[in-house]
Amino acid sequence: MSEAKPLPVVDFLKIPEDGDPYLEGYRCKKCGSIYLGERNVCSKCFARDEMEVIKLSETGILHSYAIVFRSFPGIDVPYISAIVDLDEGGTIKGNLINIDPDPDKIEFNMPVKITYGDALGRKDKEGNSYLSYFFEPA
Amino acid sequence: MSDVYVMGVDMIKFGRFPDRSVPNIGAEAALMALDDAGLGIQDMQALYCGNLGQANAMVGQRILQEIGQTGMPVVNVANACATGATAFREAWMSIKAGMYDVVLAVGVEQMGKGLLGGAGGGEGIPKEGLLGSGTMPCVFAEAGMEHTKEYGTTFEQFAKISVKNHHHSTMNPKAMYQIETPLDEVMNAEMISYPNTKLMCSVNVDGSAAAVLVSEKKARELGMSRAVKVRASAMASDPYTDRDLVMPDVNACTRLAAKDAYEQAGIGPEDVNLVELHDCFATAEMLHYENLGLCKDGEAGRMIDEGHVELGGKVPVNVSGGLLSKGHPLGATGIANIYEVCTHLRGEAGARQVEGAKIGMTHVIGLGTACGIHILEKTN
């Protein structure tokens, strides 16, 4: 099998042919609300056809989190499920890595940055690899 | 518009009934509520049935196949964990609209064991544990940690809520469990999603609850002595908030529904004598003290520390044992909590009776999001 390019784990993760991966958002030109994934109508201000495509920031702060010790069978635990407010708007959720899963070590509002890497070795039915995003302390 | 009264209401003891069917479990509560009202199925003009797990399988009609097929209109509703409250509210609205004088609302659920929720599905690869967690204990832990961030709320304070609700359930024979859980036991139980330990997660059980709702005219005809007046029925979905794409917002919609409910009833939070609120996780209950206006923002930790929400306190919360110990059969929960409040307003709650209760509130949240709130009042 040839060395196939990994697929994006979610639609809003973009992998350009030549260039670095990034996260894409849709921003309402009327009110500035930011969405993940394509949409035409703003659910905040109801404006139609006012969405513009933007690159989301690669940095942000930790808004909230939980430390998951019990998940579904086959999922490695513990891990930190994190909610991150991006510096230029938008909020995304993901795993916070490269820090102990210990509430004494994790600080609210701590700066984090987005990194990209293989999706923990997970492959789909066709054997495709996936690229995912993660957060790590900045 | 006619006032609406609960004339009959009951629930089965929650438990695990893998050998029974969903309609069979629902039928039991329906018959109990009819008996409580002193009426028969032939007296009902419509049935509103709430169930989530078999939302496409005509559970309401199948209940009637077990207890009486009169040909009445049946509406099956599904609204996540607000399903039961939605069925009750649809029944309430049908009387408010002047369509009917006597209707039946049933909520029923048969649950498996284990975790609910899960991040992402369908396409590609599983996202759980890769893009955070969509398990319910985690989602509500993240919501609770927002409160920690804002007000310094501690793991111990969250855990105390579970101690309280488990204590309350020792006085409720219809609860799944009647077991005291001291603080150290709650805090040292298996950690599921920090800060929710296993004893801070609601119990997945099977159960059903039902209510007979009537118009004022019908209530007078039947006798008011045990009737409970529905002072408010409010429902809200989640309004836009900045993070709700990734963080289901249980706060904003509860605040919206609570505001509507208090306005409908013409009362304030200080007039409420007991509350059954949606403690799907200990972290969730903490948020709703503030969301329902039982205290000011930032004071929820004090509410539990100072005992204001215990039986005997200023405003007892979840004296039934709550979802944490009574159990949480999703579609039944929103009527079971109405049964609990009515039982107190009727002065029939035994050891856990909230003395002198005149007004009570019920609250449920279904993620996605639906919030249902009812305010109920003693009639005499």
Structure confidence by residue, pLDDT tens digits, A4-50: 789 999 999 999 998 899 999 999 999 999 999 899 999 999 999 99
Q: Please report residues of A whose CB lies closer than 8 A to that of B143.
A: 64
Cβ pair B247:A35 closer than 8 A: no
The pLDDT assigned to B160 comes to: 98
Residue B328: pLDDT band (50, 70, 90) is very high
Residues B205-241 have pLDDT tens digits of 999 999 999 999 999 999 999 999 999 999 999 999 9
Specify whether the CB–CB gap between A98 and A112 falls below 8 A. Answer: no
Q: Please report residues of A whose CB lies closer than 8 A to that of B195.
A: 66, 103
Cα separations in angstroms, B355 against A66, A134, B358, B363: 39, 53, 9, 21
Q: Please report residues of B whose CB lies closer than 8 A to that of A43.
A: 240
B81 is catalytic: yes
Cβ-based neighbours of A126, under 8 Å, separated by 6 or more:
none
Q: Please report residues of B whose CB lies closer than 8 A to that of A44.
A: 240
Q: Does some domain include residue B318?
A: yes
* Residue B357 CB-half CA count within 13 A: 34
Q: What single-letter amino acid sits at B33?
A: A
Closest chain A residue to the Cα of B121, Cα to Cα: A10
Closest Cα in chain A, distance from residue B94 (Å): 31
Q: Does some domain include residue B107?
A: yes
Instruction: Say which residue the tokens 């529904």 belong to.
Output: B257
B138 is catalytic: no
The answer to whether residue A83 neighbours chain B at the CB level (below 8 Å) is: yes
Q: What percentage of chain B has pLDDT greater than the value 90? A: 95
Lowest mean pLDDT segment, chosen from B116-125, B148-157, B326-335, B353-362: B116-125
For residues B133 and B168, what is the distance between their CA atoms, to the nearest angstrom?
A: 31
Higher-scoring residue by pLDDT: B380, B272: B272
Q: Does some domain include residue B42?
A: yes
For residues B284 and B363, what is the distance between their CA atoms, to the nearest angstrom?
A: 12
Q: Which two tokens stand for residue B289?
A: 């003290």
H/E stretch holding B211? strand B207-215
For residues B102 and B72, what is the distance between their CA atoms, to the nearest angstrom?
A: 11
The domain in which residue B339 lies consists of 4-113+203-375
The residue annotated as part of the active site, out of B278, B288, B328, B344, is B328
Mean pLDDT over A44-73 rounds to 97
The domain in which residue A60 lies consists of 7-137
ω into A16 cis (within 30 of 0): no
Mean pLDDT over B13-23 rounds to 97
B86: left (phi over 0), alpha (psi -120 to 50) or beta: alpha
The pLDDT assigned to B119 comes to: 54
The answer to whether residue B132 neighbours chain A at the CB level (below 8 Å) is: yes
Q: Does some domain include residue B194?
A: no
Q: Does some domain include residue A1?
A: no
For residues B329 and B15, what is the distance between their CA atoms, to the nearest angstrom?
A: 9
Q: Does some domain include residue A2?
A: no
CB-nearest partner of B115 from A64, A72, A81 = A72
As a whole number of angstroms, the longest Cα–Cα distance in chain B is 61
Specify whether the CB–CB gap between B247 and B129 falls below 8 A. Answer: no
* CATH classification of the domain holding B294: 3.40.47.10
Calculated CA dihedral for residues B248, B287, B258, B162, nearest 10 degrees: 110
Cβ-based neighbours of B361, under 8 Å, separated by 6 or more:
B261, B272, B274, B275, B276, B277, B292, B341, B373, B374, B375, B376
The total number of structural domains in chain A stands at 1
Instruction: Report the DSSP beta bridge partners of residue B81.
Output: B79
Reduced to 3 states (helix: H, G, I; strand: E, B; else coil), residue B18 is coil
Using alpha carbons, select from A60, A61, A132, A128 the residue that is nearest to residue A95: A132
The answer to whether residue A55 neighbours chain B at the CB level (below 8 Å) is: no
The residue annotated as part of the active site, out of B81, B201, B280, B295, is B81
CB-nearest partner of B132 from A69, A82, A130 = A82
The total number of structural domains in chain B stands at 1
Using alpha carbons, select from B338, B352, B315, B41 the residue that is nearest to residue B210: B338
Interface size between A and B, measured as CB pairs under 8 A: 129
Q: Does some domain include residue B181?
A: no
For the cut 60, the answer to whether the pLDDT of residue B248 exceeds it is yes
Using alpha carbons, select from B261, B225, B264 the residue that is nearest to residue B85: B261
* Residue A130 CB-half CA count within 13 A: 23
The pLDDT assigned to A62 comes to: 98
The pLDDT assigned to B124 comes to: 87
For the cut 80, the answer to whether the pLDDT of residue B28 exceeds it is yes
Q: Does some domain include residue B145?
A: no
Phi, psi (degrees; rounded to nearest 5) at A48:
-105, 145
- Window A:7-46, CB contacts with B under 8 Å: 7, 9-10, 33, 35-36, 43-44
Residues B341-369 have pLDDT tens digits of 999 999 999 999 999 999 999 999 999 99
Residues B255-302 have pLDDT tens digits of 999 999 999 999 999 999 999 999 999 999 999 999 999 999 999 999
Q: Please report residues of B whose CB lies closer than 8 A to that of A106.
A: none
For the cut 70, the answer to whether the pLDDT of residue A2 exceeds it is no
